[in-house]
Amino acid sequence: MTGDTSALQLVLTGDPGLYAIVWLSLLVSLSAVACAAVIGVPLGALIALTRFPGREAIIVVLNALMGLPPVVAGLAIYLLLSRSGPLGSWGLLFTPAAMIIAQTVLVTPIIAALTRQTVEDLWLEYRDELAALDVGPIGRIATLIWDARFSLVTALLAGFGRAAAEVGAIMVVGGNINNFTRTMTTSIALETSKGDLPLAIGLGIILIMIIVMINALAWTARRAGERYAG
């Protein structure tokens, strides 16, 4: 992606560099959302259904972490994964895996906090019915997550939006290495610093279009699901 090319030209000519960057962006952000969902959804549901001392404090912290600055998350993961850090021997710094980890840290609080709210609201509605049906704690969590699945799509999309839009964390832990850890957002930052503003804004438009497309897909899936499952 060098020379005097516009973003539109890159799309029209099927520039392989551009596609690799788009693919990596999606791979990293979607993987992070998947990991964050695996952690955040059960965690949020668990907090929604259990009562223990300090629960309120955890909810406040979780809500606050939704606004965790990406660069701070990135720095924390950087120090963790650096060769001089505790997990340095894994050799993950400056790899896509490190980027997925950093974005997972960013996205998990969003998904957990929104899941907690959604599941707690649903719990008020379902509580008696599930108690009457003698459903155990794990069964309750599973039932509530499954029955909240359409609302939880929104939580996942919020998480994806954050992951796809951020540059601070993946820049620090990924290093923006050409052909390896360069994504849409780090490319935009790089092209901006090179002064190629038209290419930067073009890439930005492509990024926005992709995010809109994914949201449209998820929304359509949600609507279809709701129609069939009420």
Distance of CA 209 to the CA centre of its chain: 17
Q: Report the distance separating Cα 170 and Cα 95, nearest Å.
A: 10
Residues 143-172 contacting another protein, CB under 8 A: 143, 145-147, 149-150, 152-153, 156
Distance of CA 179 to the CA centre of its chain: 22
Indicate the residue type of 136.
G
Minimum CB separation of residue 230 from another protein in Å reads: 3
User: Interface with another protein by CB under 8 A: which range of 53-61, 65-73, 113-121, 142-150?
Assistant: 142-150
Q: Report the distance separating Cα 119 and Cα 47, nearest Å.
A: 9
Q: Which of 5, 9, 63, 82 binds another protein (CB under 8 A)?
A: 82
* 8 near another protein (CB under 8 A): no
Q: Which of 44, 70, 74, 96 binds another protein (CB under 8 A)?
A: 96
Give Rg (Cα) of the chain.
Answer: 20
Q: Report the distance separating Cα 91 and Cα 77, nearest Å.
A: 13
Comparison of 63 and 88: residue with beta carbon closer to another protein: 88
CA angle, residues 168, 169, 170, in degrees to nearest 5: 100
Contacts with another protein, residue ranges (CB under 8 A): 2, 4, 27-28, 30-31, 34-35, 37-38, 41, 82-85, 88-89, 91-97, 100, 125-126, 128-129, 131-134, 143, 145-147, 149-150, 152-153, 156, 175-178, 180-181, 190, 192-197, 199, 221, 225, 227-230
